[in-house]
């Protein structure tokens, strides 16, 4: 691309000097940000960007309730959880009240990766298996064990033999009966694991299949796959790092849209609105068995400041009506995109639920996936003050997952700019 302005070039060089090749910066012209409120990110040159990318500050960047709760708690007490601390126990009760029986207990962590790492350990201990079934472009985190169940993390090769990946639930892979086809694929993957001598432990999926390109429909689709996994003696782990905390607009958890109750639920990202807070919600028997074999302690997991943030997130979700807002504004975006499509043949399928939408960008000529066009749109939208990312195996699916406080007017601005770019 074109050379960067000198000041920006210096900042990028400085970043690379400290962080080396693992440092990832978005955009051809990386963004220098200095602040954020609601669904708006402010850059150092004063430009206000509409944020459709960041799902961690889920109740809004700088939400006053969360800021105040953190400020108050950090000045009062912040320590590990081996003492009785009211905010920790109160938060756990508030969180668990959002789960169906028999998911009545929680282990608090700091990240989604730690949550999935613990979930794998619980499932493997309970089943004496090692085999895990995931989806083809899944990402579940960054520890050694969780990387093994994250096919999207491999730039060369792929997961070990005790991990089997199945295509995500979409008619392109399974025809009209997506639920039945997906369940068959899971059952076949389990059979292949067992045939190779890898006893089956768990089916692990992100319940909105975000890195696979966002697959939410039809509601209920997971039920037969979960039944198949259980018939084969495995557990079902629902990764709620992406869809959890009301994002899908009708349910607090992605698994609930599908009418299933997992054995283990893993939480992260939006849980603390940016304060490091994650968790594993599960059945008491699974935690008891694990405690007998290993025990679990996480120094920073569920510290008082994180729990204060988590409690404020639950308050803000309810008081600001954010789940309903996610439903209404998400449906509004989908409608506006449908209206735009006739004039913009590059807009392919639009999928998702609530404020988690995937917009396929395709070639107008033949309808094929067009990741280069998606990349140009991401950079073009940034030049027009809108931040968005992409997902899916080919990277051609624009991913809309803003803070849940996004307004209909902000959504209109996005659709308007997308249309202008596509027509321009
Ligand atoms: N699960 C899913 C579905 C995720 O998207 C992510 C993060 N992108 C993780 C787990 C890992 O979470 P963390 O980065 O907090 O470790």
Domains and CATH numbers, the chain: 44-59+322-406+416-424 (3.90.1150.10), 64-319 (3.40.640.10)
Beta bridge pairs of residue 187: none
The owner of tokens 């979930």 is: 119
Distance from residue 240's CA to the centre of ligand 1 (Å): 9
Joined together, the tokens standing for residue 53 give 């990318």
- 359 strand-pairing partners: 350, 398
CA of 169 to the centre of ligand 1 (A): 20
**Where does ligand 1 bind, in terms of residues with CB under 6 Å?**
111-113, 116, 139-142, 206, 239, 241-242, 268-269
φ and ψ of 215, to 5 deg = -135, 105
Collapsing DSSP states into helix, strand and coil, what is residue 268? coil
Partners of 399 in beta bridges:
358, 389
User: Mean pLDDT per 10-residue run, the chain (424 residues)?
Assistant: 87 95 90 97 97 98 98 98 97 98 98 98 98 98 98 96 98 98 98 98 98 98 98 98 98 98 99 98 98 96 98 98 98 98 97 98 96 97 97 98 98 98 92
Quick one: pLDDT at residue 72? 98
Q: Considering the entire predicted model, what is its pTM?
A: 0.98
Residue 36's pLDDT is what?
A: 98
Q: What pLDDT is stored for residue 3 in this prediction?
A: 86
C-alpha 355 – ligand 1 centre gap (Å): 18
Dist CA 278 CA 276 (whole Å)? 7
Position 28 scores a pLDDT of 84
Euclidean distance between CA atoms 254 and 305, whole angstroms: 27
Compute the distance from residue 359 Cα to the ligand 1 centre, in Å.
21
- What is the CA(245)–ligand 1 centre distance, in A? 14
Ligand 1 centroid distance, CA of 5 (Å): 33
Q: How far apart are CA 386 and CA 378, in angstroms?
A: 8
User: How would DSSP label each residue in 283-340?
Assistant: -HHHHHHHHHHT----SSTT-HHHHHHHHHHHHHHHHTTHHHHHHHHHHHHHHHHHHH
pLDDT of residue 236: 99
For residue 93, report the phi and psi dihedrals to the nearest 5 degrees: -65, -45
How far is the C-alpha of 326 from the C-alpha of 60, rounded, in Å? 12
Residue with tokens 């000097």: 17
What's the CA angle centered on 99, arms 273 and 313, to 5 degrees?
20
C-alpha closest to that of 245 among 307, 297, 316, 300: 316
In this structure, the residue with its CA closest to atom 7 of ligand 1 is 141
Q: Of the residues 53, 58, 113, 205, which should be mutated to test ligand 1's pocket, given the most ligand atoms within 8 Å of the CB?
A: 113
pLDDT score of 313: 99
CA of 95 to the centre of ligand 1 (A): 19
Nearest ligand 1 atom, CA 269: 15
pLDDT of residue 2: 75
Give the closest residue to 421 by CA, choosing from 378, 357, 390. Answer: 378
Residue whose token pair is 């491999």: 154
Best residue among 139, 248, 264, 271 to mutate for probing ligand 1's pocket (most ligand atoms within 8 Å of CB) is: 139
User: What pLDDT does residue 1 have?
Assistant: 58
Residues 376 and 346: beta-carbon distance below 8 Å: no
Cβ atoms 131, 201 nearer than 8 A: yes
Q: What is the pLDDT at residue 424?
A: 83
Give the phi and the psi of residue 401 in degrees, each rounded to 5.
-150, 65
Protein residue closest via CA to atom 2 of ligand 1: 140
DSSP letters, 118-177, are: HHHHHHHHHHS--EEEEETT----SSHHHHHT-GGG-SSS---TTEEEE--S-HHHH-S-
Nearest-angstrom CA–CA distance, 50 and 384:
9
Q: Tell me the CA distances in angstroms from 420 to 372, 388, 399, 414, 416, one per residue in order.
A: 18, 16, 18, 10, 6
Cβ atoms of 347 and 337 within 8 Å: the answer is: yes
């Amino acid at each position: 691309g074109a050379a960067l302005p000198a000041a920006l070039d210096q900042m990028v060089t400085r970043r690379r000097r400290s962080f080396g090749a693992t440092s990832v910066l978005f955009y051809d012209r990386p963004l220098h940000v200095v602040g954020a409120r609601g669904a708006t990110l402010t850059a150092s040159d004063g430009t206000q960007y509409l944020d459709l990318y960041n799902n961690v500050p889920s109740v809004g960047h700088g939400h006053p309730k969360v800021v105040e709760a953190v400020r108050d708690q950090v000045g009062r007490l912040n320590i590990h959880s081996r003492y009785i601390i009211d905010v920790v126990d109160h938060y756990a009760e508030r969180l668990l009240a959002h789960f169906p029986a028999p998911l009545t207990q929680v282990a608090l962590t700091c990240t989604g990766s730690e949550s999935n790492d613990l979930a794998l350990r619980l499932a493997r201990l309970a089943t004496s298996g090692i085999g895990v079934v995931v989806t083809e472009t899944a990402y579940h985190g960054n520890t050694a064990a969780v990387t093994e169940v994250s096919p999207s993390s491999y730039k060369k090769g792929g997961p070990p033999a005790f991990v089997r990946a199945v295509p995500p639930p979409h008619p392109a892979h399974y025809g009209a009966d997506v639920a039945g086809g997906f369940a068959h694929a899971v059952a076949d993957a389990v059979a292949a694991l067992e045939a190779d001598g890898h006893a089956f432990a768990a089916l692990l999926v992100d319940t909105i299949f975000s890195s696979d390109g966002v697959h939410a429909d039809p509601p209920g689709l997971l039920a037969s796959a979960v039944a198949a996994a259980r018939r084969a003696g495995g557990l079902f782990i629902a990764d709620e790092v992406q869809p959890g905390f009301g994002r899908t607009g009708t349910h607090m958890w992605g698994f609930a849209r599908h009418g299933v109750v997992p054995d283990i639920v893993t939480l992260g990202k939006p849980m603390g609105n940016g304060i490091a807070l994650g968790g594993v919600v599960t059945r008491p028997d699974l935690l008891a068995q694990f405690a007998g074999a290993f025990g679990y302690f996480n120094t920073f997991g569920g510290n008082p400041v994180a729990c204060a943030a988590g409690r404020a997130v639950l308050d803000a979700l309810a008081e600001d009506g954010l789940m309903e807002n996610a439903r209404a504004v998400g449906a509004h975006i989908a409608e506006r995109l449908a209206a735009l499509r006739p004039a913009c043949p590059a807009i392919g399928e639009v999928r998702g639920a609530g404020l988690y939408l995937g917009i396929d960008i395709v070639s107008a000529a033949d309808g094929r996936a067009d990741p280069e066009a998606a990349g140009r749109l991401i950079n073009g939208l940034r030049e027009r003050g809108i931040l968005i990312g992409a997902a899916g195996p080919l990277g051609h699916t624009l991913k809309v997952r803003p803070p849940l406080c996004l307004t209909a007017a902000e959504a209109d601005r996005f659709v308007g700019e997308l249309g202008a770019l596509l027509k321009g």
